[in-house]
Copies of this chain bind each other. A is one copy, B any other.
Amino acid sequence: MSDLTPSLDPGSPLPLYEQLYRSISRDIIMGRIQGGTRLPSRRALSRHLGISEQTISNAYALLKAEGFISAKARSGLFVERMLPLTEAPVHPAPHKEKDEALIRFDLLPQSTDISLFPRKLWARLMREALLDEPDLMKRGDPRGEHSLRAALCAFLYQFRGVQTTFEQMVIASGVDQLLLAICALFNRPLRIACEDPGYTEAARVIRRAGHTPVPLPLDEHGIRIDTLMKEDVDLVYITPAHQFPTGISMPASRRAELLHWAQERTGRYLIEDDYDSEFRYATRPLPALQSLDATGKVIYLSTFSRSLAPGLRIAYMALPKELSEAYTKTGLRSGETVTRFEQHTMARFIQEGHYTRHLRRAGNRYQKRCEQLCALLSQIPGSFLSGQEAGLHFLFGIKGRTEKDLLQKAADRHIPLQGLQGFCQDVHLMPALVMGFGGLEDEQVEEAVALLRMAWSV
């Protein structure tokens, strides 16, 4: 066994015994040392390699603990017989740093103004949660923190007219997680109607969960009832407050029709995604569709991604009683997808009124920015806008210009934009851009429009 000559690197971060262990174990795995071979004694190998006997002992101990070698009484250590494997690379590949693209303005619909997020306050609340409540380090409630669910329940009743109890609330790290949980509440393959155009990620999540998304077209009031009637679907996923991406606000009559559809058959539910209802500029936010529902047919869900910041991963839903009980039975644990002291911090943020203060401040800021941006864009000959009464995005287009053309020319000036077609499944709508202004700085508005006009030569 004097052929046992591992490459030991004193400069390596790994201790010698670890290097020796890895070298010998690799030789065994690769079949370079046959099963049944007797290993050299510690003293012999220590002389052979010029390293301490203790180092050898440590390495041998590991090999033994892992079952690479075994001791035979009074005859030493022997290599186990095992199937040879192919060589593994000794070192991991070096880390490449991903270089960010140069972006001059953020006009993407999912962006928000992060400068509005009260970071100091948040840090203080979180520090207090961490130091005052060690138990938050233990495993949490599978629905999420009681404190947060109760705070949301009160907030949603006052600001969105949502009628629910904190028992029916569920917390998760995002709307996707909530949709997965909803799908898991039914023990059958589901057909779920989605708005087309709509939040395409929802359809993707539904498909991933093994269910079937059914894209349905919109009219000026939102998802069309006549096509819905024709389809055999169980759930309908909608964004009534400010349809994504068209910005349509669903009138009460259509809401009533949808509720009627749901009430016609057991097992039918409406999923109301209220993602950006906190911001409305014409009037104050419309009450939620859920507030019209007495029959437990509406699953209300929303997130803090728009109202606070996309980097903050907390979403929530209010389940109808029946489904709330199903949630408990199925043993779902969506609430465990958000770190507890973060949930606790959010609970205090809401309870102490910081959240509503933030919404007022942010709302005013966004409204001004939206008005300024729309005013400038509407000066472009042939331009049209819609859906700018609420939320953080609106539709914008120029008569006679294709989406592809507008997108490409903006991209050439390093202004990434999103087109309406990108959110369409089967339908084809007039060419338009889904313009977000959440991530745009107030000082940038004029410059951004100027640059766009230059890019589009209008």
Q: Verify B165–A95 contact, CB threshold 8 A.
A: yes
The majority secondary structure among interface residues of chain A is loop
Q: Which of B14, B111, B137, B342 contacts A138 (CB 8 A)?
A: B111
Q: Verify A66–B251 contact, CB threshold 8 A.
A: yes
Residue of A95, A204, A259 with highest tally of chain B CB at under 10 A:
A95
Q: Verify B65–A282 contact, CB threshold 8 A.
A: yes
Chain B neighbourhood of A150, CB < 8 A: 95
Indicate if A381 sits at the interface (CB-CB under 8 A): no
Indicate if A379 sits at the interface (CB-CB under 8 A): no
Indicate if A27 sits at the interface (CB-CB under 8 A): no
Indicate if A424 sits at the interface (CB-CB under 8 A): no
Q: Which of B252, B312, B333 contacts A28 (CB 8 A)?
A: B252
Nearest CB of chain B from residue A62's CB, rounded to whole Å: 6
Measured CA separation A82–B225 after assembly (Å):
14
Contacts known (A98-B146, A123-B130); A309 close to B137, Cβ less than 8 A: yes
Nearest CB of chain B from residue A76's CB, rounded to whole Å: 19
Q: Which 8 A-B pairs have the closest CB atoms?
A: A67-B251, A210-B210, A88-B294, A114-B137, A137-B309, A139-B310, A173-B337, A82-B253
Binding site for B on A (CB under 8 A): 13-14, 22, 25, 28-29, 61-62, 65-68, 80-89, 91-98, 110-112, 114-115, 117, 119-120, 122-123, 126-127, 130-131, 134-140, 146, 150, 153, 157-158, 161, 163-167, 173-174, 176-177, 180, 184, 204, 208-210, 249, 251-254, 256-257, 259-260, 263, 282-284, 286-287, 291-295, 309-314, 331, 333, 336-342, 439
- Give 18 CB contacts A-B under 8 Å: A62-B284, A65-B249, A65-B283, A66-B286, A83-B260, A84-B256, A88-B291, A91-B163, A97-B146, A98-B146, A123-B127, A137-B309, A137-B310, A173-B338, A174-B337, A209-B210, A210-B210, A313-B337
